[in-house]
Amino acid sequence: MAKLHSRRLVDFRMGSKLSSAYLSQTVRLWRFLPWIMLGSITWWLGPIQTLAAQALVAAYPDHIRAVTDQAVIWQDGEVMPLDSGHRPTSLASVLDRPNLKDQLALVYPKGRLLTSPARNVDPGRIRYEPFFKKMYGATEDAVRQQLVAVSWLPGSSGQKLLLTRINAVDQRVAMLVQELSLLPDSMQRVVAHPAGSFHWRTIAGTNRMSAHSFGIAIDIDMAYSDYWRWHADKEEAPLAYRNRIPHEVVEMFEKHGFIWGGKWYHYDTMHFEFRPELLTPQ
Ligand SMILES: [Zn+2]
């Protein structure tokens, strides 16, 4: 190692082609370091990921029996590996082909957001699709069989939202609605007319299934919302954080197991999604 290091030092001093190649390779690797860390260097993340994976058992006891260092064991006996072997090289490739452990790697900041999200930190936005298909249904028909029409706020002209009964999401939303209805009008107006819930579809600009496909997501009023794609078209684009949703509303959703897209660097402030594993104390 020392020999290698001194060789590199000599090359650097001499300004040789070898050293510039080494430097440019280092710069290239450095740029991808967050994704290499996320997907490949697991030895130091291991204990953290095991803890995060254990949260799956607490969050979904009807579905998940246990978690080992290697896999999630479902109640029906299916063993779902935490690492499927894919090695992502960019944010887009983590999003497109994550391992189950990538889904668990980022900690969601519960409660009032004190600073805007750090660059490319989108806790909950990385989803291992087979996990959601197994939990909520692998086809539109299968998901639809579990949907319930839940009455939204009294002031929303009788609007009903289609949500899954799996994990009692429908009942949790009914409780959430009661609490939201107690908010002052100035806050309630941002949720009074939601843009939608169930919709079997891919995420705009991608081939990935949206969380809306599984009946676990609610979009509130677009008129008060901000979405990163309205200001940029690439995952890698630098973004200026925007939000108009009061934290009191966000915290009510979180209390009932919903994470908020406003806590992502790639912000989507109308989006709430049932992901209780990210809200249990770790
Ligand atoms: Zn949404």
Q: How confident is the model at residue 13 (pLDDT cuts 50, 70, 90)?
A: very low
pLDDT in tens, 205-219: 888 999 999 999 999
Q: What is the Å distance from ligand 1's center to 46 Cα? A: 31
Q: What is the Å distance from ligand 1's center to 65 Cα? A: 29
Q: What is the Å distance from ligand 1's center to 124 Cα? A: 12
pLDDT for 233: 83
Average of per-residue pLDDT values in the chain: 84
User: Which amino acid makes up residue 190?
Assistant: V
pLDDT in tens, 216-255: 999 999 999 999 999 998 888 899 999 999 999 999 999 9
CB under 8 Å to 19, separation ≥6 — which residues?
8, 11, 12
pLDDT for 250: 97
- DSSP strand pairing (64-67 vs 79-81): unpaired
pLDDT for 15: 37
Q: Give the mean pLDDT of 4-9.
A: 37
Q: What is the Å distance from ligand 1's center to 217 Cα? A: 6
Residues 53, 45: contact at Cβ < 8 Å? no
Q: What is the Å distance from ligand 1's center to 71 Cα? A: 29
pLDDT for 217: 98
Which pTM value belongs to this model?
0.82
Q: Give the mean pLDDT of 69-96.
A: 89
Of the listed ranges 38-42, 165-169, 238-242, the least confidently predicted one is 38-42
* Structural domains of the chain sorted by starting position, each given as residue range(s) with its CATH number in brackets: 46-103 (no CATH), 129-278 (3.30.1380)
Of the listed ranges 51-55, 81-85, 105-109, 273-277, the least confidently predicted one is 51-55
Determine the Cα–Cα distance for residues 54 and 137; give it in Å rounded to an integer.
Answer: 23
Measured in whole angstroms, the distance separating CA 35 from the mean position of its chain's CA atoms is 15
pLDDT for 94: 86
pLDDT for 20: 44
Of the listed ranges 17-31, 53-67, 227-241, the least confidently predicted one is 17-31
Percent residues over pLDDT 70 in the chain:
81
Q: Give the mean pLDDT of 69-98.
A: 89
Q: What is the Å distance from ligand 1's center to 243 Cα? A: 15
pLDDT for 47: 57
Q: What is the Å distance from ligand 1's center to 259 Cα? A: 11
196 has a pLDDT exceeding 90:
yes
Q: What is the Å distance from ligand 1's center to 270 Cα? A: 6
Determine the Cα–Cα distance for residues 70 and 67; give it in Å rounded to an integer.
Answer: 8
Q: What is the Å distance from ligand 1's center to 216 Cα? A: 10
